[in-house]
């Protein structure tokens, strides 16, 4: 174990929180590339495609200072009609995968860090959007 300690100082005031909000999943399922592509302009995404998400799980960082409930499991509507731009290739930005230290630094007072043997996830303390 290692630690660094420089000394005590007088109280410097409250520790500021991050100025951005969270993108919170509003339903359970697997994250789809179609939904992630549409959410990329709202902020930075933390999950990859086919990641199992649940209601209240934080799936990204909102560019603005408020939380936004998003549908990250939305699938593309399939039709039998042809369109000139219907099957364009989508480009997904690499998601920001954080380690434990980064997640603890990122978390706010109304959020929790969920640690399992296979993953580290962020979630809201109150999962239901209408009770937050």
Q: Tokens 């929790």 sit at which residue?
A: 112
Residue 117 within any structural domain of the chain: yes
Q: How many CB atoms lie within 10 A of CB 46?
A: 22
pLDDT in tens, 11-25: 988 877 888 999 999
pLDDT band at 6 (very low <50, low <70, confident <90, very high): confident
CATH of the domain at 100: 2.40.50.250
Residue 119 within any structural domain of the chain: yes
CA-to-CA distance for 132 and 129, rounded, in angstroms?
5
pLDDT in tens, 34-74: 999 999 999 999 999 999 999 999 999 998 989 999 999 99
CA-to-CA distance for 88 and 31, rounded, in angstroms?
20
pLDDT band at 78 (very low <50, low <70, confident <90, very high): confident
pLDDT at 87 (0 to 100):
59
pLDDT in tens, 79-130: 777 666 655 678 888 999 999 999 999 999 899 999 999 999 999 999 888 8
Residue 10 within any structural domain of the chain: no
Query: Cα 118 vs. chain centroid, distance in angstroms?
Result: 17
Asked if 54 contacts 24 with a C-beta cutoff of 8 angstroms, the reply is: no
- Number of folded domains in the chain? 1
What is the DSSP code (8-state) at residue 70?
E
pLDDT at 85 (0 to 100):
60
Provide the token pair at 129.
Answer: 């959007």
Residue 26 within any structural domain of the chain: yes
Domain that holds residue 102: 21-75+96-131
Closest CA to 122 of 62, 31, 68, 56: 56
């Amino acid at each position: 174990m290692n630690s660094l300690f420089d000394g005590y100082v007088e109280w410097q005031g409250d520790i500021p929180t991050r100025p951005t909000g969270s993108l919170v999943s509003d339903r359970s399922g697997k994250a789809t590339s179609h939904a992630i592509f549409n959410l990329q302009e709202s902020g930075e995404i933390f999950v990859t495609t086919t990641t199992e998400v649940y209601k209240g799980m934080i799936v990204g960082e909102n560019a603005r200072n408020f939380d936004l409930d998003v549908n990250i499991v939305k699938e593309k509507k399939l039709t039998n009609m042809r369109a000139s731009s219907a099957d364009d290739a989508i480009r997904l930005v690499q998601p920001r995968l954080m380690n434990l230290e980064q997640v603890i630094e990122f978390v706010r007072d109304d959020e929790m860090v969920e640690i399992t043997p296979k993953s580290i996830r962020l979630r809201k303390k109150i999962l239901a959007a209408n009770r937050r």
